Amino acid sequence: MPPTRRIYRREGEESRRSALITATQSLVAEGGPEAATVRAIASRAGVTAGLIRHYFQTKEELIGASFRALMDSMIQTGADAAKMVDTSPEGRLAAFVGSTLRPPVMEAGSVVLWAGYMHKLRNDPDLLAVHEAAYLAFRDTLQDLIAALPRKAPAAQHRAEAIAINALLDGLWVEGSLLPDSFAARELITIGLRSTGAILGVDLLKPTDLLPEFGKS
């Protein structure tokens, strides 16, 4: 019986921590990090300010956790998409690229929330560290998928290609999220796959025939 109570307690604590992070994210999306005061977060989450301090020592720690949760979620979506595709290395890379250019990653809310944190990076070393870790995690995942392709290329080339593709996807993600009506269904996914393939010298469009989910906008 005691183990069961500990499990329930742990699940309850994780749920409350998640609720605080969600409340923080909604406030940052609405008015930037400055809008996410302890009082506002507590009100949005329906808890007391004292409870917040039980989970996070400072407001800055909670802001950092909410930023990390956003970035981890987007990176994990791509990694999960690649793992679910039991085909070729090209297919797994195509799945990863495609996942960044459709919901839930490509959404106006995600870009607005991301932008809410960006202007604080220069003066907040903790947030900058979260951003750097997220960037490297995404780039390293890309690099591993690139290295698995059936072609001969040195590790330095894999790294350079991952940097270039990351920048490409960032641009498509921002514009596609903020201006969804400016693009046809599948247009940005097709551009992303074709452009990534051009950088790498491989065909990433053909694997999408095996992945009907790419047909979703």
Encode pLDDT of 19-33 as tens digits: 999 999 999 999 888
- Lowest-confidence pick of 2-16, 46-60, 119-133, 135-149: 2-16
- Looking at residue 122, its pLDDT comes to 84
Domains of the chain: 1-57 (1.10.10), 64-209 (1.10.357.10)
Q: Report whether 93 contacts 199 (CB < 8 A).
A: no
- Looking at residue 86, its pLDDT comes to 66
- Looking at residue 4, its pLDDT comes to 46
Encode pLDDT of 165-193 as tens digits: 999 999 999 999 999 999 998 899 999 99
CB-based burial, 116-140: b 16+ in 10 Å, e otherwise? bbeebbeebebbeebbeebeeebbe
Checking if the pLDDT of 207 tops 70, the result is no
Nearest C-alpha neighbor of 161 from the set 148, 174, 173: 148
Span 113-133, mean pLDDT?
A: 90
Cα separation, 191 vs 188, whole angstroms: 5
Percentage, residues of the chain above pLDDT 90: 65
- Lowest-confidence pick of 26-30, 109-113, 120-124, 175-179: 120-124
- Looking at residue 24, its pLDDT comes to 94
- Looking at residue 148, its pLDDT comes to 95
Question: Which residue's structure tokens are 């994780």?
Answer: 14
Span 138-157, mean pLDDT?
A: 95
Encode pLDDT of 17-66 as tens digits: 899 999 999 999 998 888 999 999 999 998 888 889 889 989 899 999 99
Encode pLDDT of 78-106 as tens digits: 888 888 876 789 999 999 999 999 999 99
Checking if the pLDDT of 209 tops 80, the result is no
Cα separation, 47 vs 133, whole angstroms: 31
Q: What is the pTM of this model?
A: 0.83
Backbone angles phi, psi at 209, to 5 degrees: -60, -25
> Which of residues 131 and 11 earns the better pLDDT score?
131
